[in-house]
Amino acid sequence: MKRAILIHYHEINLKGNNRRWFEACLERHVVRILAGLETGSVRRFAGRLLVELVEGSPVEEITRRLAMVFGIANFAVAREVPAEIEAIEAELAALVSSTSFRSFKMDCRRGTKEFPLDSQQLNRRLGAFVQGRTGAAVRMEGPEAVFGIEIVKGRAFLFLSRIAGAGGLPSGSGGKVLSLLSGGIDSPVAAWRMMRRGCRVHHVHFHSYPHTTVESQEKVRRLLGILSRFQLESTLWMVPFAEVQREIVAYAPPALRVILYRRFMVRIAEAVARREKAAALVTGDSLGQVASQTLDNIRTISAVATMPMLRPLIGNDKEEIIRIARAIGTYETSIQPDQDCCSLFIPRHPETAADPEKAERAESGLDVARLVENALAGATRETLPADFFAPLPEGGRRND
Ligand code: ATP
Ligand code: MG
């Protein structure tokens, strides 16, 4: 008996001509995320992806990593035998005796059609076989055990339940974007959402060192180590923002400070995005969450953008965002205390309904182009690898 992980990728099937490209992205990502772990070959196999396991393969770690690969609908750790009914029954007997249950259902599928029994006939025959050996009841709704069997090209894969995949589209299949990453709860979730749609996400963080601490920058790096598990490595631009803030504080009305900070972030981020050949900016804004995120202010901030500004959390409540942050593993780091540059010099009554003209008037005393240039001149670019050693999010949910 051999063992393998059988991976299914539903959404990719919908993509017509692009399918091969998506499959290649997925396969490449699976190979890379499993690098350094002992496995057999990883390859495409009749509309599936197969990770062959060897003696000593760390199955638990492999499944935890696979649960973070976008584009996977579900996967199963399977035993593999030749697609012959006697071999299947013998292996099924072993699988059945490895678990205890009072009710069960069979979930047999025929991936290719050369096997003589169709899935219904297989379900009936193998269901009767399991019942005969155990006396357990067949139950379609809420069975205690589900025995999955897939027959593909002369090979039969048997497994206990499928593990839910991360869904979405494979990393790298959706183009490049630049995320504005603060040390907060929202922006890492927004970046993750874009990764889940297949984007490669680059990041920019604005810091006000020496007004803010180096620890705050370290926190952003830690966050990115966690986020990078979903795309394996990330580019981080660290941009000094103190000069921009000092000038805004000195020359613009206090009520508009945060809006002007944001407009500068957008201008600088666009310049970074062009260097990285990213097509859009991403922020963690959620409508109405704070004063700078009213519809009027979002409009005033977006007015300086020439690229699309994507706000994947715009319709989410904080609780929903926190739930995702916990699930992807960023929450515990996000809530550690830090000093965000935007919390500096905040007036008691920030403007909640600025319009672009008002913001332009407020900026008329500033040398916008020079401030953007100076910030870029002081920026650094680094590449952060995925940190698989920090605690990982829970492995995939059971999905049977
Ligand atoms: P977050 O939890 O992402 O910090 P927030 O609810 O605190 O969001 P704001 O602080 O108003 O909201 O920030 C809105 C968005 O602006 C953030 O989600 C992020 O995309 C961007 N942003 C804010 N501060 C920074 C920063 N220092 N560097 C990069 N981007 C930032
Ligand atoms: Mg914030």
Beta-carbon neighbours within 5 Å of ion ligand 2: 182, 184
**pLDDT tens-digit map of 322-362:** 999 999 999 999 999 887 777 777 787 888 888 999 999 99
55: tokens are 């003696």
Q: Crossing angle, helix 295-302 and helix 257-276, to 10 degrees?
A: 50
393 is a domain residue: no
171 is a domain residue: no
Q: How does DSSP classify residue 388?
A: -
Query: Which atom in ligand 1 lies closest to the alpha carbon of residue 334?
Result: 2
- Cβ atoms of 45 and 119 within 8 Å: the answer is no
Sign of the alpha-carbon torsion through 224, 230, 234, 239: negative
* H-run or E-run covering 77: strand 74-82
**pLDDT tens-digit map of 282-330:** 999 999 887 778 899 999 999 999 999 999 999 999 999 999 999 999 9
Could you read off the pLDDT tens digit of each residue along the chain, which spans 400 residues? 899 999 999 766 665 678 888 899 999 999 999 999 999 999 998 889 999 999 999 999 999 999 999 999 999 999 999 999 999 999 999 999 999 999 999 999 998 888 999 999 999 999 999 999 999 999 999 999 999 999 999 999 999 989 999 999 999 999 999 999 999 999 999 999 999 999 999 999 999 988 888 888 999 999 999 999 999 999 999 999 999 999 999 999 999 999 999 999 999 999 999 999 999 999 999 998 877 788 999 999 999 999 999 999 999 999 999 999 999 999 999 999 887 777 777 787 888 888 999 999 999 999 999 999 999 999 999 999 888 866 555 544 333 3
Q: Any idea which ligand is nearest the CA of 209?
A: 1
User: At a CB cut-off of 8 Å and minimum separation 6, what does 98 contact?
Assistant: 160
346 is a domain residue: yes
323 CA to middle of ligand 1, Å? 18
Task: Look at the pTM and tell me if it is higher than 0.85.
Answer: yes
* Domain end marker among 164, 186, 217: 164
Query: Is the domain of 8 the same as that of 152?
Result: yes
Q: Any idea which ligand is nearest the CA of 268?
A: 1
184 CA to middle of ligand 2, Å? 5
Domain with 236 in it: what CATH number? Answer: 3.40.50.620
Nearest Cα to 166, choosing from 318, 14, 327, 315? 327
Query: Is the domain of 152 the same as that of 181?
Result: no
Helix spans in 112-173 (H): 119-134
Number of domains present in the structure of the chain:
2
Where in the sequence is the domain holding 114, given as residue range(s)? 2-164
* Domain end marker among 114, 141, 164: 164
Q: Residues with beta carbon inside 6 Å of ligand 1? A: 180-182, 184-187, 205-206, 265, 283-285, 289-290, 292-293, 340-342
343 CA to middle of ligand 2, Å? 8
